Amino acid sequence: MSLRTGKRKRTLTGRIAAITAAASVTTVTAALVVVGGQSAYAAVGCRVDYTVTNQWSGGFGANVTVTNLGDALSSWTLEWNFTAGQRVDQLWSGEFSQSGSTVTVKNASWNGSIATGASVTPGFNGTWTGSNPAPTSFKLNGVTCTGSPSSTSPSTSTSTSTSTSTTTRPTTTTTTSNPGGGDGSGPWPADTGSVHQTTTKDAGTFFDGGMKRYYGIGDGGQGESQDPMFEVANGGTIQNVIIDAPAGDGIHCLGTCTIRNVWWNDVGEDAATFLSPSSSATYLVDGGGAKSGADKVFQHNGAGTLTIRNFQVHSSGKLYRACGNCTNSYQRHVVMDGITARSTKVLAGINTNWGDTARFSRITVYGSTTICEKYKGVPKGSEPTKIGEGADGVNCLYSPSDITQR
């Protein structure tokens, strides 16, 4: 299929850079009996899966999945200790504080309840120096998470003392993987389940897909004006999602948004479209990857700046295209950092007559890839004309040291 040069779509309303060459996934399991202020035969227990999702020199991202194995909770507090001086910089799906090596995460206003067998997954970005080992122990509401529930009943006595019995059988299992490193070169993830949806899901201001595979809209092709799988509100975040064919028009960001650790097994019309008319809008694609975007992966129809970092793209036409013939013409900017491209024709197409810019750093390409193509943007109904390619110090901004050719 020949490459489109950017067509208008309708807006919906509604690795340690191989310092250690791996990141760890730690599951802490065991059993604990607690008595005291609980009703007779109350069950307590929890399991924590700590997963480093991205890691680069000096920084990393991680998810902490907490599964409640005991009675239902109406609020929760999670605690753990880092052992190598790591710091949490930013956390979502909870409120955090850190004192020395101890991190404390309390539930957000919307995710305090955890039913028996249910999970919550706060995630965070952090920093490290020297090494980045995973924590080995976690506490949920003061109880060490050991992987199995226990029942307990308090003793009765006329005295004020309370009998407490505690049994602990800790087992820690650590596996090593290579989960999408800071240069976008890690392995493709497996899904944890699948969700078939035939209408657009309103992701609101936050949606965590738990690495499930979502599919079901459109015909699986590149045709225009397909509905998106997800619509993200201004200021919203969508994360930990795998999108598969048929995937419609992927994700629509209505304003400033974050797309974190999202993977497109097969790009439909586009993987994501950025729609805000505000020049101050900022969009972030952080981690993840896309395959089989025959035309393009990311379509920038609105204004503002898109940053794509720690991302991989396979077998695609363009990774990014600033629309060259939309109803409204805007100045658009893209920043790419830590990108690995395989069998992809072009990384970015921009319209220099509208003042668009594209900046590149830590780019690795396999095969023949044009880094930056320049077009002359035109009114809707006309077709943009390609006027050049390559670094120029004005619109296409990179140096030879920013590009690694494999």
Residues with Cβ within 8 Å of 323's Cβ and at least 6 positions away in sequence, in order, are 6, 7, 8, 299, 300, 301, 332, 377
pLDDT tens digits for range 283-339 = 999 999 999 998 999 999 999 999 999 899 999 999 999 999 999 999 999 999 999
Question: Which pTM was predicted?
Answer: 0.62
Q: Is the pLDDT of residue 217 over 60?
A: yes
pLDDT at 196: 97
More confident residue, 136 or 27: 136
Query: Sorting pLDDT into bands at 50, 70 and 90, what band is 33?
Result: very low
* CA neighbor of 179 nearest in space, from 170, 190, 166: 190
Q: Where are the alpha helices (DSSP H) in 141-277?
A: none
Q: Is the pLDDT of residue 109 over 70?
A: yes
Mean pLDDT check: name the lowest of 4-13, 30-39, 81-90. Answer: 30-39
Classify domain 194-405 at the CATH topology level.
Pectate Lyase C-like (2.160.20)
Query: Sorting pLDDT into bands at 50, 70 and 90, what band is 43?
Result: low
* CA neighbor of 390 nearest in space, from 363, 372, 368, 402: 372
pLDDT at 59: 85
Q: Is the pLDDT of residue 244 over 90?
A: yes
Instruction: Please state, in angstroms and rounded to a whole number, the distance separating the CA atoms of residues 378 and 383.
Output: 7
Domain pair 23-177 / 194-405, same fold:
no
The two tokens of residue 253 are 């960001």
pLDDT at 166: 29
Q: Per-domain residue ranges for the chain?
A: 23-177, 194-405
pLDDT at 56: 77
Q: To the nearest 10°, the Cα dihedral for 336, 339, 342, 348?
A: 0
* CA neighbor of 70 nearest in space, from 165, 153, 139, 149: 149
Let me know if domain 23-177 sits in CATH 2.60.40.290: yes
pLDDT tens digits for range 360-403 = 999 999 999 999 999 999 999 999 999 999 999 999 999 999 99
Q: For 347, which DSSP code?
A: E
Q: Three-state SS for 370?
A: strand
Pairing of strands 23-31, 46-56: antiparallel
Query: Sorting pLDDT into bands at 50, 70 and 90, what band is 150?
Result: low
The partner residues of 311 in beta bridges, in order of sequence, read 339
pLDDT at 161: 32
More confident residue, 109 or 202: 202
